[in-house]
Structure 1
Amino acid sequence: MKTPIVSVLGALLLSAAPMLPATGLAVAAPAATTRSPDAIAADLAAKALASDLPMQIVTDLTTEIGPRLAGTEAEKRAADWAVARLKALGFDSVRQESFTITGWLRGEEKAEITGPAPQPLVVTALGTSVATPPEGIEAEVVVFKRYADLLAAPEGSLEGKIALVTEKTVRAQDGSGYGAAGLIRRAGASEAAKRGAVAYLLRSLGTHDHRFPHTGSQVYAEGAPKIPAAAISPPDAEQIERLVARGHTVKVKLKLTPSHPGTVTSQNIIAEVKGREKPDEIILIGAHLDSWDQGTGAIDDGAGVAVVTTAAKLIRDLPQRPKRTIRVVLFGAEEYGLLGAKAYAEAHKAEMGKHILATEADFGQGPVYAFNTRVADPKHPSIVRIQNALTPLGIYRGDNAAHGGPDIGPMMQHGVPVVNLALEGSDYFDTHHTPDDTIDRIERKRLNQTAAAYTVFAYLAAELDGDYRQARVADAPNTASGN
């Protein structure tokens, strides 16, 4: 059976090339300028579904560069690689925009239960964690099965002890389970320190049960002592829970040796497909180039880099470019707190009013299952046409409460309308921020469907007219509630 896209293409080809009764010869297809944007979008989707480019890009990035910790020489090599690749693909205005960040480097990381049943633990430091003393820290572990239980503990109750939160991350298609658990990693160390803890551990914020931990950033609160912070694998967290449940006092020794090299440089990479009529109006599609250092950053976010690059490349190769400019931004230092996104929003503050729509691919390989918006008029005719073009890819219309993606947040604060091409995330946190985030986790079919969705969206958003900051008068009272 033909897929919807193939059926549409077949109908278009037949209508574009009628047969002459007398000769049987086909009339030449009409020029690209006479074809509807919807037909061109269908062609683009078909090309993306069949393209080798998404897999080539993510494979090359993770193989030739590997992990790309923000502010390191590896991230700079990735930036140079991206510039060269984008120029070779024929993009306009390819450039780097540098900014400074506070650097952090992982060192040795080791943990073990020293009593009552000595055994090793699998551990990884959280980003920006301070080091333990050279000899490590050995102390009794206090287990909190819920983060709320830690917050309820009185000041001084953890004096001289190691706090361990073992709350699980709930698996969810949209990643909401991780969002709900995020504070456990980001703020837990400071909360434990306020109560006297000498170190902080958490059950890795992942949805798998394998014996490796997830890293990720954490932030020390003003005024709270800075204590070493790390994640342990899910089986190790459960092992400690079992020992405590049997009435044992569990002691753990933790040794972390991260370093802080001071002020270092990261960079955003920008490339464009200049619009033919409205080159100063921008449709932004982004991803982030940096990654954590445990794997090679294939899922997070080499896949996103491949998707947005492919989308812009396919549009760039059209006989006629769209009306508006499509801008690809590969953000730096996303994993350290959206630092590249904040630098971009500040550097381009004067042109935020010309950013017509923005979105990011930063939730793995997909596929895309829903089209969400945050625009003044969610029933704008061009939004309807974009949705209609996405429907054959198996994408349904979502809500009008989109966030655009992590790196899009700072732009959204400047009033930029955003969309989300919602990515299937049920398995995303199985590999996210772990040694398992490698190229063998990428599935071509999933990646290509995502590339097709971003291509369709970017092309139609750039070609069709629409002011997404302005609601129709009749709809104005209801825009806050979405569709």
Structure 2
Amino acid sequence: MKKRLVYFCFALFVCTSFLFAQTTDDVVAAIQKEANENSQLEQLAYELMDVIGPRLVGTPQMENAHKWAVETYKKWGIEAKNEEWGKWRGWQRGITHIDMLEPRLVTLDGMQLAWSPSTGKKGVTANPIALLTVSDSLAFDKWLPSVKGKFVMVSMEQPTGRPDENWEEYATETSFEKMKNERQEKEDAWQQNFKNMGYTSRNINEALEKAGAVGIIQSRWSEGFGANKIFSANTDKIPVVDLSLEDYGMLYRMVEHGVTPTIKLVAESKELGEVPTFNTIATIPGKELPNEYIILSAHFDSWDGATGATDNGTGTITMLEAARILKKVYPNPKRTIIIGHWGSEEQGLNGSRAFVEDHPEIVNNVQALFNQDNGTGRVVSITGQGFLNAYDYIGRWLQAVPDDITQHIETSFPGSPARGGSDYASFVAAGAPAFSLSSLSWDYGNYTWHTNLDTYDKIVFDDVRNNAILTAILAYKASEDPEKTSREKAVLGNDSKTGEIRIWPQVKSPERAGMIEE
């Protein structure tokens, strides 16, 4: 009788194991099938990037995006809400139109920076002036009154608008080296002049505004054809605009040659006072361990030089699509799955830091967090973020991922904890196992990261689909894992600068009243 019971139990174990394996295979196969045959990525990208547009914190577009996300999740049967965590300076971009009226008529390619003061509908007409090369701060102070009534050009004229790889492909080696040397000399001289003036690029605009300038013109080239970085203005009353390298260079050369261009700038914008800031939080409740959590993470906000397609529209639609797929093929997860779309990441991880600060009961019970935020490329790197045993569980989960996805991924364990960069760092600092799904470049740094070219057409949907499948499978496996993940931290190596052992990053509080004067 005992032997029969042993044989029965063994047979039951084998059968159960087989069924579990089949179930795992079936769910993974269903995730792939749904992602490949019923993808919503293109539609989501169209609605988010083309229709809603850029998502600068404090703008109506950001508010519209939060509302859209909740409605989208509810359409899929997923609970979602917008959770307020602070206030921000409200601002709405308007028309930017820049014309050179003299010595010839031409419309210039440029735009006002985020939170730039408005010129009003009539605009401002004035002549540009370049920063003077000075020997010391006294000489600069003596020159400073001459900016009154002028547009001041505060960027270096670039010697070439061609990226280095273009030079490397076509130029002679001698010509390429000559250009690089000349550019370096020019950059060194430009930086030295700022030191002589007693200012930096961060505070020069304030001094020029106080001296009576009517506007600031910059050109922050991103080292790619037609690409400029677009960040924020730091003036109170006068507009700040960024011009293309080509048009900025033309104006700069005219000024250098003694020609006096006349510029008309219309840069409309609207101040909206204090507005609330949100995180969009969607939830698929867990059935067995509802108080343990998988978090799918991506920041929702963007800069507004373009539509924020790869920073971080692609991360956003990856998590939306992964959640949609999971709800359809894995509607009753073991652990609760949360999808966090964080606000104001671009100004310092504020939304995710607020969530960490406001929800310790969730952070303390995170099984795993997966974050995607560096472009449209397929995931090629996952590190352990300094968690000593991350290899064990990440390795288990990755075994279920198809080879055509994992063949591109390099892993590194235990790695080092992130100290910034994106929202997973907020959770790592709190000791939660949070991991970055790092992507292939696709020239992200030069062409789309925070630039005027970060638009829908730069999305590589095959790679984003790859990432949605990967994310959904990792979330499924993390949810079903019979073991809770270890939070044991590795001993960090010595700091190369100080020689001392590095310490774990500290939890930081968010800015909850952004750009609001008390």
In structure 2, the CA distance between the partners of 1:480 and 1:339, relative to structure 1 (3 Å rule), is closer
The equivalent of 2:225 in structure 1 is 209
2:439 pairs, out of 415, 423, 429, with: 423
SS in 1 for 2:154: strand
In structure 2, the CA distance between the partners of 1:81 and 1:268, relative to structure 1 (3 Å rule), is same
Q: How many residues align?
A: 431
In structure 2, the CA distance between the partners of 1:320 and 1:62, relative to structure 1 (3 Å rule), is closer
The equivalent of 1:395 in structure 2 is 409
1:56 pairs, out of 43, 59, 80, with: 43
2:129 pairs, out of 119, 127, 141, with: 141
Separation (CA, whole Å) in 2 of partners of 1:314 and 1:135: 50
Tell me the TM-score normalized by structure 1. Answer: 0.72
SS in 2 for 1:281: strand
- Tell which deviates more after alignment, 122-131 or 45-54: 45-54
Separation (CA, whole Å) in 1 of partners of 2:370 and 2:157: 32
Q: Is the 8 A contact 1:375 1:417 kept in 2?
A: no
1:108 pairs, out of 87, 90, 95, with: 95
Please show how residues 35-434 of structure 1 align to structure 2 within 5 Å.
35=22, 41=28, 44-45=31-32, 47-62=34-49, 65-91=52-78, 93-98=79-84, 99-113=86-100, 119-132=106-119, 135-136=123-124, 138-142=126-130, 158-159=144-145, 160=147, 162-166=152-156, 188=201, 190-194=203-207, 198=213, 199-210=215-226, 215-218=230-233, 227-243=238-254, 252-291=263-302, 295-318=306-329, 321-334=332-345, 338-377=349-388, 380-388=391-399, 392-393=404-405, 394-398=408-412, 399-402=415-418, 406-428=422-444, 429-431=446-448
In structure 2, the CA distance between the partners of 1:375 and 1:110, relative to structure 1 (3 Å rule), is same
Deviations 1:343-366 (CA, angstroms, capped at 9, x unpaired): 433432453322343343333322
SS in 1 for 2:118: coil
Deviations 1:287-316 (CA, angstroms, capped at 9, x unpaired): 244455565544343322221022123233
1:469 pairs, out of 487, 505, 517, with: 487
Separation (CA, whole Å) in 1 of partners of 2:100 and 2:239: 17
CA deviation after TM superposition for structure 1 residue 129, in Å:
1.9
In structure 2, the CA distance between the partners of 1:386 and 1:69, relative to structure 1 (3 Å rule), is same
Deviations 1:129-176 (CA, angstroms, capped at 9, x unpaired): 22348652634432699xxx999x96665552613224879899xxxx
Deviations 1:199-234 (CA, angstroms, capped at 9, x unpaired): 433324545423x755333556xxxx7653221112
In structure 2, the CA distance between the partners of 1:281 and 1:135, relative to structure 1 (3 Å rule), is same
Separation (CA, whole Å) in 1 of partners of 2:283 and 2:70: 12
Q: Is the 8 A contact 1:300 1:437 kept in 2?
A: yes
Matched, 1:457 2:474: yes
Deviations 1:421-457 (CA, angstroms, capped at 9, x unpaired): 1122333353455665443443321221121222233
Q: Is the 8 A contact 2:89 2:274 kept in 1?
A: yes
CA deviation after TM superposition for structure 1 residue 397, in Å:
1.7
In structure 2, the CA distance between the partners of 1:319 and 1:132, relative to structure 1 (3 Å rule), is closer
- Runs of 5+ in structure 2 lacking a partner? 1-14, 166-193, 195-199, 495-500, 505-518
In structure 2, the CA distance between the partners of 1:416 and 1:37, relative to structure 1 (3 Å rule), is same
In structure 2, the CA distance between the partners of 1:446 and 1:157, relative to structure 1 (3 Å rule), is farther
In structure 2, the CA distance between the partners of 1:412 and 1:376, relative to structure 1 (3 Å rule), is closer
In structure 2, the CA distance between the partners of 1:249 and 1:137, relative to structure 1 (3 Å rule), is closer
The one-letter amino acid of 1:277's match is E
Separation (CA, whole Å) in 2 of partners of 1:171 and 1:311: 38
In structure 2, the CA distance between the partners of 1:377 and 1:69, relative to structure 1 (3 Å rule), is same
Separation (CA, whole Å) in 2 of partners of 1:350 and 1:132: 48
In structure 2, the CA distance between the partners of 1:56 and 1:132, relative to structure 1 (3 Å rule), is closer
The one-letter amino acid of 1:203's match is S
CA deviation after TM superposition for structure 1 residue 400, in Å:
3.5
Tell me the TM-score normalized by structure 2. Answer: 0.68
Q: Is the 8 A contact 1:143 1:241 kept in 2?
A: no
Greater Cα radius of gyration, structure 1 or 2: 2
SS in 2 for 1:108: strand
